[in-house]
Amino acid sequence: MATTKRVYERLAPVYDLDDVMFAGAKQHWRKKIIDKLNIENAKLVLDITTGTGRAAKILSKRVKDGRVIAVDISKNMLKIARMRNRGRDNLRFILCDAAHLPLKGDVFDGVSCMCGMDTVDAPEAVLSEAVRVLKNKGRIGMLYFSEPKGWLRYLDALLKKYHSVIWNTKNVDMASMI
């Protein structure tokens, strides 16, 4: 089993503690980024690296008559996501690698990826899949750790120590990939 997948299979029962440690900041940013997707009238929205399904829950509440598909590579993370979202009929979870989405191209009005691009093994492949499945004029919203500058490097080093336990994160330079 690849390392990232193995890490999240193990972390799943404690992963949501990370939201507690961030004192609501992560959820605040998930909502802010989802606001920018403008998906109120969307028919189909995708959440990649959905984890325990927090962003998927926001998305499923936001789309009025649309549907949400949420994918993750970890069975144990998805187990929690399904429990969190029990009864949400417009939301479906799929166990798969976001670098090889088993989904048709050009069908989603919006794609979100929260705290995921800095986690996946192949961010370029995941971004390229997100673009492939996105409709023309659709939007992608991402929340991730970028390369820190100035004093933020010290904070980053501290966070890395903590995150090596609870969040398998690495910095990514999405701007240059985009």
Ligand X SMILES: C[S@@+](CC[C@H](N)C(=O)[O-])C[C@H]1O[C@@H](n2cnc3c(N)ncnc32)[C@H](O)[C@@H]1O
Residues near ligand X (CB under 6 A) are 4, 8, 30, 49-51, 54-55, 71-74, 77, 97-99, 114-116, 119-120, 167
User: Hunting for tokens 């926001």 — which residue is that?
Assistant: 58
> Cβ 31 to ligand X, closest distance in Å?
11
| Cβ-based nearer residue to ligand X, 14 or 41 | 14
Distances (CA, A) of 43 to 46, 61, 67: 11, 13, 6
> Cβ 163 to ligand X, closest distance in Å?
9
Nearest to ligand X by Cβ — which residue? 51
Q: What are phi and psi of 113, to 5 degrees?
A: -145, 100
| Cβ-based nearer residue to ligand X, 2 or 65 | 2
| Cβ-based nearer residue to ligand X, 93 or 167 | 167
Nearest CA-CA partner of 110 in 30, 178, 44, 40 = 44
CA dist., res. 177 & res. 49, Å (int): 18
> Cβ 65 to ligand X, closest distance in Å?
24
| Cβ-based nearer residue to ligand X, 134 or 137 | 134
Six-digit token string for 12: 């799943």
The alpha-carbon radius of gyration of the chain (Å, integer) is 15
> Cβ 44 to ligand X, closest distance in Å?
18
Distances (CA, A) of 126 to 47, 57, 79, 116: 12, 22, 22, 10
| Cβ-based nearer residue to ligand X, 63 or 101 | 101
> Cβ 25 to ligand X, closest distance in Å?
12
